[in-house]
C-alpha cells in the first residue's frame, strides 16, 4: 500500500516537472498579424532603434522598435536560453 502511494505521488510530481517553458505561453511573446507563432518575437529583447531621429530628438518612437525572434532568444544563454530564464506565464 505504501509503495502504491509513493508511485502515485511520484507520478504527480514528475508530470508537473516535464512541462517546458514555451514562448507562446509567455507574457513577453508577440507575433505579427500575418505571421504564425514560428516567427514570434520576444518583447524582452528589442533590437537597435530603427528611427534615425532618435539621435536628433532623443525621443524613442515605439512603432520603429523591432524585437528579436523568440527562436534566437532561446538559443543564447545571454538572453533567455534553453531554460527560459526570463519566462513569465501569461
pLDDT at 13: 63
Cβ atoms of residues 29 and 23 within 8 Å: yes
DSSP state of 35: S
Tell me the backbone φ, ψ of residue 16, rounded to 5 degrees: -75, -30
- Give the percent of the chain with pLDDT over 90: 44
| DSSP annotation string for 2-15 | HHHHHHHHHHHHHH
| pLDDT value at 2 more than 70 | no
What's the pTM value of the predicted model, to 2 decimals?
A: 0.66
| pLDDT value at 88 more than 70 | yes
Q: Give the DSSP H/E element, type plus range, for residue 43.
A: strand 41-46
d(C-alpha 85, C-alpha 73), whole Å: 10
Q: Give the DSSP H/E element, type plus range, for residue 67.
A: strand 67-69
In this prediction, residues 70-85 reach a mean pLDDT of: 93
Q: Where are the domains of the chain?
A: 20-73
Amino acid at each position: 500500500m505504501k509503495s502504491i502511494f509513493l508511485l502515485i505521488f511520484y507520478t504527480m510530481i514528475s508530470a508537473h516537472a516535464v512541462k517546458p517553458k514555451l514562448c507562446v505561453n509567455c507574457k513577453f511573446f508577440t507575433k505579427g498579424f500575418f505571421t504564425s507563432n514560428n516567427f514570434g518575437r520576444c518583447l524582452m529583447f528589442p533590437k537597435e532603434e530603427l528611427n534615425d531621429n532618435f539621435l536628433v530628438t532623443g525621443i524613442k518612437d515605439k512603432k520603429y522598435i523591432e524585437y528579436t525572434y523568440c527562436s534566437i532568444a532561446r538559443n543564447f544563454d545571454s538572453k533567455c536560453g534553453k531554460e527560459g530564464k526570463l519566462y513569465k506565464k501569461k
